[in-house]
Amino acid sequence: MAKYYKSNGTTTLVVIHVIDSTVVFQRKIHGKVVTVPEVVDEIKDEDSRLYLSLHSVRVKKASRKNIARVLEMAKKTGDIHRLSETDVRLIARSLDETEKGEVVLVTDDYSIQNIARLFGIKIETITQPGISKAFKWIKVCRGCGREMVDDVCPVCGSEAVLRRVKCEKT
């Protein structure tokens, strides 16, 4: 259920910003903010930790249910090879927060944006332009170009590389 704030006779929808560590590093925290413990763990330098502590940032774990949903989607798109555990949990927390209000996921990470977009989560970027459309990653052999599942080609023995392809509906 979305939360609303009433002031001076007007009602405003509360927008929740789910933030990646880049928001802290770039000193761009604004509005009602939440993140996951793993993002806080990424913030090592003293100045950034101080900046984070001066803002009312809620730190909450992602639900197991939504972590599983994100992993399933990431496997379908091939982003599973590009997302860290922190990335997965950040997207899952965004899904958790959608039950409470309008959510904007704030990140410059293209793989996070790709999965979030497929879940219908709004994106705000910090310093980089956002993705213009969703996409899918496949593994192909560096040597012969065959699509493959493993990291080494069973035909020629070359290593796999990830290639971006047009996203199918997932």
Within this chain, do residues 45 and 71 fall inside the same structural domain, yes or no? yes
Per-residue pLDDT of the chain (170 residues; tens, 9 = 90+): 455 555 566 666 789 999 999 999 999 998 999 999 999 999 999 999 999 999 999 999 999 999 999 999 998 888 888 899 999 999 999 999 998 889 999 999 988 999 999 999 999 998 887 777 767 777 888 888 888 888 888 888 888 887 777 664 43
Those residues whose C-beta lies under 8 Å from the C-beta of residue 168, and which sit 6 or more positions away, are 136
pLDDT at position 140 is: 84
- CATH code assigned at 71: 3.40.50.1010
pLDDT at position 145 is: 83
Task: Domain count for the chain, please give it.
Answer: 2
Cα separation, 79 vs 121, in Å, equals 16
On the CB side of 133, CA atoms within 13 Å amount to: 8
- CATH code assigned at 160: 2.20.28
pLDDT at position 3 is: 57
**In terms of pTM, does the model score above 0.95?**
no
Within this chain, do residues 144 and 95 fall inside the same structural domain, yes or no? no
Whether 149 maps to a domain, the answer reads: yes
pLDDT at position 107 is: 95
Within this chain, do residues 113 and 140 fall inside the same structural domain, yes or no? no
Cα separation, 132 vs 120, in Å, equals 14
pLDDT at position 100 is: 83
pLDDT at position 20 is: 96
Whether 72 maps to a domain, the answer reads: yes
Whether 11 maps to a domain, the answer reads: yes
pLDDT at position 136 is: 74
Cα separation, 54 vs 77, in Å, equals 38
Those residues whose C-beta lies under 8 Å from the C-beta of residue 90, and which sit 6 or more positions away, are 18, 20, 35, 36, 38, 39, 62, 105, 107, 112
pLDDT at position 169 is: 45
pLDDT at position 48 is: 95
